[in-house]
């Protein structure tokens, strides 16, 4: 591990160590560039992970205060927990399920293809699928995505058997155990999946890809990385020329530090990244850094989500094995005849006995609800994930009424479903129930969206500086040495789980940053 | 009926939230409801029935390849 001086202004400072920050750090270190990574969370490991839902949540989740507003049900049921994402080295790659799907070609052109949808702030990405394709390939190889690179698909568990049986009866054709960044055989110095069933609680076998035990150690081995866990960034500073010059943070001893920087890359996930830009407002940048468009924090997307659980006469034991054990992709295309724009994926999901009562139907109680717990071993479940509409009013703002322990206003997450989201969700609920009925379900349950595990779009990429925050490289329009490096970049959400695309963008951004530094453009 | 009348109150919400975590989040409850809890120390489920469901047909191997067992 390198030990980089606070005054070294030749370094790249990356805020966050997840899919974006961790990958970017390794890619830059491999090119010989010195990198300081400031990660708010502590450093865990497969040894310290726990197969216990609430204990793990306490270990890995972002629990610093946030507030919520808007008509979304999360604001009522989980008013202080808009998102289930992580504060730990590796970020949400410790917690994710491993689903690694490429965006579809038309999803990069959502505005052109879907047209002008009232109440939505659609915009085409300033990148095409063909530009990203070689980087998608690198990401799939890096992460070991099954059904790519000669890697066999994973074996399907009982939960997948139920989904598959119902899906086939309904005539669905694109049904399999997924493109997963989970080793089906040993690869890259990590073992193959043991079907533990606690994917969301950190993978104790290391079979699931996470920057924590792949990108970070590889970066450290170059001698170019200085990773500082429990470093909570409060401000990004700039000089009189309007270029960022350093980052202020509180270290693990609670002391305020300043790290100089030649380049700053923000990868704190889509709530903290815009919050940090807003907190860094100054006389020169009164609305926050890189916010001449006013779009910092806006266009927050969380994907159309919901779950369907089903009870059967006979046991399923859905908790045995991978949480996301398989997928139906037939509904992921754009088919406006269904009554909505965009598409959705149907992916198996399982919750343990501790989380099921809390999340099956937040606020619910009584005999009907208890019946579901009684039948726990006979349940199957799926998660519906689809494209939700970017809206200017769905946004992260600073809540000046609530301060965190460092004295900074916390993030408020405001969200209202768009009509398209509601119509799509109802369609997805219906189709999910039909899949399970076709497999013989005696009862089905529509579970509303959980605290968001996919958080996107709040510093979006745009061709024009007035429409977004950063250009096609994630370089902010206003400040050439300030980059957005996480899912905040997403111009639109697509129907696919975001991690593969975040890693892809980071690999590509590293090439660009290295080139810009060589040319002394930044 | 009395409980139904309390529904929606802050007190009700607090009690319900506490019940949800204390009733279901313990080893006795796990045993009663058939959830075995921690799995890694037993080697996971790859040799302990993760695919043992027999009342539906097995998916074809294109959809669900066999597990790698060494």
Would you say residue B1 has pLDDT above 80? no
Q: What are phi and psi of A344, to 5 degrees?
A: -145, 155
Q: Which residues from A are below 8 Å from B11, CB to CB?
A: none
Q: What percent of chain A stands above pLDDT 90?
A: 95
Residue of B6, B37, B40 to mutate for A, most A C-beta atoms under 10 A: B40
Q: What percent of chain B stands above pLDDT 90?
A: 51
Model pLDDT, residue A362: 76
For residues A241 and A239, give the distance between their C-alpha atoms in angstroms, rounded to a whole number.
5
Average pLDDT of the residues in A71-80: 93
| A112 confidence band (pLDDT: 50, 70, 90) | very high
Would you say residue A366 has pLDDT above 90? no
Tell me whether residues A353 and B35 touch, CB distance under 8 A.
yes
Please answer whether residues A236 and A260 qualify as being in contact, where contact means their C-beta atoms are separated by less than 8 angstroms: no
Would you say residue B51 has pLDDT above 90? yes
Q: Which residues from B are below 8 Å from A358, CB to CB?
A: 20-21
DSSP annotation string for A413-479: EE----HHHHHHHHHHHHHHHHHHHHTT-SEEEEEPPPSBS--B-TT-B-SSTTT-SB-TTSBBSS-
Tell me whether residues B64 and A326 touch, CB distance under 8 A.
yes
Q: What is the value of pTM for the model shown?
A: 0.97
Would you say residue B27 has pLDDT above 90? no
- Start-end of H helices in A197-279: 215-221, 269-279
* Å between A187 CA and nearest CA of chain B: 12
Would you say residue B29 has pLDDT above 90? no
What is the number of CB-based contacts under 8 A between chain A and chain B? 142
Place of tokens 């796990």: B30
Average pLDDT of the residues in B19-32: 80
Handedness of CA A287, A290, A295, A296 (dihedral sign): negative
Average pLDDT of the residues in A169-191: 98
Tell me whether residues B46 and A195 touch, CB distance under 8 A.
yes
Mean pLDDT, chain A, rounded, equals 97
| A3 confidence band (pLDDT: 50, 70, 90) | very high
Would you say residue A370 has pLDDT above 90? no
Model pLDDT, residue B8: 67
Would you say residue B14 has pLDDT above 90? no
Structure-token pair, residue A248: 């202020």
For residues A310 and A378, give the distance between their C-alpha atoms in angstroms, rounded to a whole number.
8
How many secondary structure helices (H) and strands (E) does chain B include?
A: 3, 0
Strands A67-69 and A175-176: unpaired
* Contacts of A256 by beta carbon, 8 Å cutoff, 6+ apart: A234, A248, A249, A250
Would you say residue A290 has pLDDT above 90? yes
Average pLDDT of the residues in A190-209: 98
Output A426-429 pairs: Cβ under 8 A, ≥24 positions apart.
Answer: A427/A331, A427/A338, A427/A339, A427/A340, A428/A304, A428/A306, A428/A331, A428/A344, A428/A346, A428/A384, A428/A386, A429/A306, A429/A308, A429/A384
Average pLDDT of the residues in A220-245: 98
**Mind listing the pLDDT tens digit for each residue in A483-517?**
999 999 999 999 999 999 999 999 999 999 999 99
ipTM of the complex: 0.94
Distance between terminal CA atoms of chain A? 25
Give A150's Cβ-side CA count (13 Å radius): 2
Would you say residue A97 has pLDDT above 80? yes
* Backbone Cα Rg of chain B: 20
Please answer whether residues A470 and A265 qualify as being in contact, where contact means their C-beta atoms are separated by less than 8 angstroms: no
Tell me whether residues B51 and A158 touch, CB distance under 8 A.
yes
Model pLDDT, residue A1: 78
CA distances from A394 to A69, A107, A268, A495 (A): 10, 20, 19, 18
| A12 confidence band (pLDDT: 50, 70, 90) | very high
Would you say residue A402 has pLDDT above 80? yes
Please answer whether residues A90 and A503 qualify as being in contact, where contact means their C-beta atoms are separated by less than 8 angstroms: no
Q: Which residues from B are below 8 Å from A359, CB to CB?
A: none
| B19 confidence band (pLDDT: 50, 70, 90) | low
Please answer whether residues A259 and A280 qualify as being in contact, where contact means their C-beta atoms are separated by less than 8 angstroms: no
Please answer whether residues A369 and A311 qualify as being in contact, where contact means their C-beta atoms are separated by less than 8 angstroms: no
Model pLDDT, residue A360: 85
């Amino acid at each position: 591990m390198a030990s980089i001086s606070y005054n070294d202004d030749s370094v790249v400072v990356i805020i966050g160590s997840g899919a974006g920050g961790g990958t970017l750090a390794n890619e830059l270190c491999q090119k010989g560039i010195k990198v300081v990574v400031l990660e708010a969370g502590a450093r865990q490991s497969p040894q310290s992970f726990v197969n216990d839902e609430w204990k793990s949540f306490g270990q890995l989740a972002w629990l610093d205060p946030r507030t919520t507003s808007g008509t979304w049900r999360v604001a009522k049921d989980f008013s202080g927990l808009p998102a289930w994402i992580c504060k730990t080295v590796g970020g949400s790659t410790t917690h994710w399920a491993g689903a690694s799907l490429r965006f579809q070609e038309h999803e990069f052109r959502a505005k052109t293809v879907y047209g002008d949808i009232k109440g939505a702030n659609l915009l085409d990405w300033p990148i095409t699928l063909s530009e990203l394709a070689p980087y998608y390939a690198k990401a799939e190889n890096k992460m070991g995505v099954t059904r790519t690179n000669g890697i066999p698909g994973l074996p399907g568990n009982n939960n997948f058997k139920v989904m598959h049986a119902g899906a086939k009866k309904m005539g669905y054709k694109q049904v399999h155990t997924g493109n997963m960044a989970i080793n089906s055989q040993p690869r890259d110095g990590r073992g193959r999946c043991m079907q533990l069933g606690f994917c969301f609680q950190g993978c104790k076998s290391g079979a699931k890809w996470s920057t924590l035990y792949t990108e970070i150690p590889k970066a450290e081995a170059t001698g170019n990385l200085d990773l500082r866990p429990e470093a909570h960034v409060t401000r990004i500073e700039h000089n009189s020329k309007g270029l960022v010059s350093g980052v202020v943070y509180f270290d693990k001893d609670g002391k305020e530090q300043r790290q100089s920087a030649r380049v700053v890359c923000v990868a704190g996930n889509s709530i903290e990244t815009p919050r940090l830009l807003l907190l860094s407002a100054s006389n020169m940048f009164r609305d926050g850094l890189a916010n001449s468009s006013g779009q910092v924090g806006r266009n927050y997307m969380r994907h159309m989500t919901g779950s369907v659980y089903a009870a059967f006469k006979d046991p399923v034991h859905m908790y045995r094995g991978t949480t996301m054990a398989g997928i139906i992709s037939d509904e992921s295309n754009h088919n406006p005849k269904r009554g909505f724009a965009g598409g959705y994926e149907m992916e198996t999901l399982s919750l343990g006995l501790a989380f099921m009562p809390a999340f099956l139907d937040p606020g619910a109680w009584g005999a009907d609800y208890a019946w579901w717990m009684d039948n726990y071993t006979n349940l199957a479940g799926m998660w519906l994930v689809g494209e939700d509409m970017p809206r200017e009013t769905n946004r992260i703002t600073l809540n000046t009424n609530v301060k965190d322990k460092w004295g900074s206003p916390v993030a408020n997450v405001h969200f209202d479903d768009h009509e398209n989201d509601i119509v799509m969700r109802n369609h997805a609920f219906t189709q999910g129930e039909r899949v399970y009925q076709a497999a013989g379900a005696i009862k089905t349950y529509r579970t509303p969206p959980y605290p968001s595990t996919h958080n996107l779009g709040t510093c979006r990429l745009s061709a024009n500086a007035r429409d977004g925050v950063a250009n096609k490289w994630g370089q902010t329009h206003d400040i050439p040495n300030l980059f957005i490096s996480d899912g905040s970049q997403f111009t639109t959400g697509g129907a696919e789980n975001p991690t593969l695309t975040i890693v892809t963008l980071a690999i590509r951004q590293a090439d660009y940053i290295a080139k810009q530094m060589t040319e002394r453009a930044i | 009926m009395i409980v139904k009348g309390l529904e929606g109150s802050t007190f009700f919400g607090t009690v319900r939230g506490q019940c949800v975590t204390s009733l279901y989040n313990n080893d006795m409850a796990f045993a009663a409801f058939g959830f075995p809890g921690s799995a890694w120390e037993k080697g996971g489920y790859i040799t302990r029935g993760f695919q043992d469901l027999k009342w539906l047909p097995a998916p074809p191997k294109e959809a669900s390849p066999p597990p790698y067992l060494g």
